Chains A and B, each alone.
Chain A
Amino acid sequence: MNTKQEPQRFVIPIGPQHPALKEPGNFQFTVDGEIVTKAIVRLGYAHRGIEKAAEERTWIQDLYLIERVCGICSHIHALAYCLAVEQLAHVEAPPRAQAIRVLVAELERIHSHFLWMGVSGHEAGFDTFFMYSWRDRERVMNILEKLTGNRVNYSANVLGGVKFDLDQEQIASIRGGIDFLEERTRHYLDVVATDFMFLQRTRGIGVMSRAQAEIMGAVGPTARASNVARDVRKDAPYAAYKEYPVDIILDERGDLEARFEVRLKELFESFHLIRKILDTLPGGELTARMPRKVPAGEAVMRVEAPRGELLYFIRSNGSDKPERLKIRTPTICNLTSVVKLAIGHQLADVPMILAGIDPCFSCNDRSVQIRTSNDPDGRMLSWDELRQHGIDFYKRLEK
């Protein structure tokens, strides 16, 4: 970490390789003593050009690519993609497949929240919490591996259904795992709500009011911790969420403590939902027949990823490849709140505020080129020009 001295102010650059997060992102914090007065986020370190790559692969090959947008929420990306393509092709996956999709999505939410809980415990300097929660997370990883054969990129979805079925032995092992995890979650909820040292790092830190959350377009648990009732599973039920509704967990405090509690309480909803699915798993086929070429048209699909609303837009021109694929991920919506909330806090609280939104940079690094027909400024930039443009842009921001 370098510190650059200028009259009256310090700029502290953090990243893209930094101790706290496992992902590349660059932050520049201007501090006055210990207090942050300005924050700038620089993204793009994980931009790989997935949207363009997707246009050059067939619908089925894309499925494999889309799972690799994000390793933590791989299932929900593939699910959104499948649902959008199925919507274009007027195919509906059978009820059993939809239920299994929801089951895996909820298991993934459990794994993601446990992962987040550990990492943000680590940010708070509470490494014991990190180690214990990751030990318990292995239990849900075991379940996922037993179900799908993979620990991370599950490949559960195919266009028109799912790849695997559940048998009695698997159902029993899921139930056992869920019981264990529920007990542990109760314990962790107790820790984050009562541990004095931990509360000093979370209570009253990074408070986001309901109005702020709505203006900044926060999504997912970050918004729900500020009392914004926004959950795609409830607002626009997809897959089997119509048959298996969830309750929205809300909190009105809006600080980090609320975000911890909302995410942990959400886990109980997930446990409840998984048990319900296992009790009433519909029978029948696993896949519906899917045409190789998808009819021309446009489709938009919204799903609730562990971090919030995930949006897929797909345009097909009737061939075996998509013409355009657009992904908007929850982190990009929530990241603006970090920049706002960090101001006025101590520098030491910033990693916690950042962790509070559960950022995922590999998800959010998309690039957009906006051009309108009557825009005189519309021009193509070469790579070097684009790079120079970025440098100039941030120099202007710093002034």
Chain B
Amino acid sequence: MKSHQNFGQQLLKSLKDWARVSSPWVLHFNTGSCNGCDIEILATLTPRYDLERLGVKLQASPRQADILLCTGPVTRQARERLVRIYAQMPEPKYVVAIGSCAISGGVFRGCYNVMDGIDQVIPVSAYIPGCPPRPEAVIDGLVKVLASIHSPGHKIPSDILEGALDPEKVAA
């Protein structure tokens, strides 16, 4: 009886994984980037690089998105929105930090109005370096995220998000 249940759960999981990997919907949010990464993301979606052949669709609403593509060093004003958008996305969710700024603040590191990277604010699943990364690099990064969805050890640390939403910790 138990093995039947397990089999059923496994089947359901593999079906879900299959659906997630085959048609991830991505949301793009610019947290104060210079546009360089954003135009490269768009270039990735247009005919020359055609990311849509992997089933990736650019989606406008966070409530329908699986993967959040983030660019920019996170300015103080965009920070709250980033947390809110992340909170609005349904589980399981993946965040990809695109570009040097999104990874560490890049050239803007230390500026008075930036948070020095996406991972200072929300948890990040993958980093794509470059200033800006080439469309090929964006494709490679996304493929790696999709591959990681299959791996069993992958888990989103939810405690980081709770900290990000806590007003006291925000002030600190």
Contact = CB atoms under 8 A, between A and B. Distances in A.
Contact of A53 (B37, B111, B131): B111
Contacts of B104: none
Contacts of A130: 46
Contacts of B35: 22-23, 70-72, 360, 362
Interface of A: prevailing SS: loop
Contact of B34 (A16, A68, A135): A68
A131 B30 contact: no
B107 A65 contact: yes
Interface string B54-90: 0000001110000000001101111001000100000
A371 interface: no
B132 interface: yes
Q: Size band of the A side of the interface?
A: 35 or more
Contacts of A389: none
Interface string B32-53: 1111111111110011100000
B40 A23 contact: no
Contacts of A18: 60
B32 A48 contact: yes
A46 B48 contact: no
Contacts of A138: 43, 46, 48
Contacts of A70: 34-35
A40 B96 CA distance: 32
Contacts of A23: 30, 35, 38
A17 B62 contact: yes
A24 B78 contact: yes
Contacts of A283: none
Contacts of B8: none
A133 B73 CA distance: 29
A152 B40 contact: yes
Interface string A130-143: 11101101100100
A314 interface: no
Contact of B134 (A19, A47, A118, A151): A151
A315 B81 CA distance: 36
A64 B76 CA distance: 23
Contact of A47 (B47, B75, B106, B131): B75
A47 to B, nearest CB: 6
Contacts of A44: 75, 77
Contact of B75 (A48, A65, A131, A132): A48
A120 interface: no
A132 B113 CA distance: 38
Given A48-B114, A50-B111, A71 B60 contact: no
Contact of A115 (B39, B62, B72, B113): B39
Given A68-B34, A153-B36, A153-B131, A53 B110 contact: yes
Q: Size band of the B side of the interface?
A: 35 or more
A369 to B, nearest CB: 13
Contacts of B34: 68-71, 74, 362
B34, B47, B72 — which one has the most chain A CB atoms within 10 A of its CB? B34
A3 B72 CA distance: 28
A90 interface: no
Contacts of A119: 42
Contact of A48 (B36, B39, B113): B113
A48, A71, A134 — which one has the most chain B CB atoms within 10 A of its CB? A48
Interface string A45-75: 1111110110000000000110011111010
Given A50-B108, A53-B110, A68-B107, A45 B43 contact: no
Contacts of B36: 68, 71-72, 74, 152-153
Contacts of A46: 30, 32-33, 72, 75, 78
Contacts of A152: 36, 39-40, 132
Interface in A1-57: 16-19, 22-24, 44-50, 52-53
A49 B112 contact: yes
A131 B47 contact: yes
B31, B38, B48, B107 — which one has the most chain A CB atoms within 10 A of its CB? B107
Given A17-B29, A22-B38, A135 B47 contact: yes
A71 B98 CA distance: 14
A22 B43 contact: no
Nearest to B72: A46
Q: Which 8 A-B pairs have the closest CB atoms?
A: A71-B36, A19-B60, A134-B46, A71-B35, A49-B111, A135-B47, A152-B36, A46-B32
Interface of A: 16-19, 22-24, 44-50, 52-53, 64-65, 68-72, 74, 115, 118-119, 130-132, 134-135, 137-138, 141, 151-153, 360, 362, 365, 383
20 contacts: A17-B62, A17-B85, A22-B38, A24-B78, A45-B77, A45-B78, A45-B81, A46-B72, A49-B114, A53-B108, A68-B36, A72-B39, A118-B46, A131-B46, A132-B47, A138-B48, A152-B132, A153-B131, A362-B33, A362-B35
Interface of B: 27-43, 46-48, 60-62, 72-73, 75-78, 81, 85, 106-108, 110-114, 131-132, 134
Given A64-B107, A134-B43, 11 more contacts: A17-B27, A18-B60, A45-B77, A48-B73, A50-B108, A68-B36, A71-B38, A131-B47, A137-B43, A152-B36, A362-B35
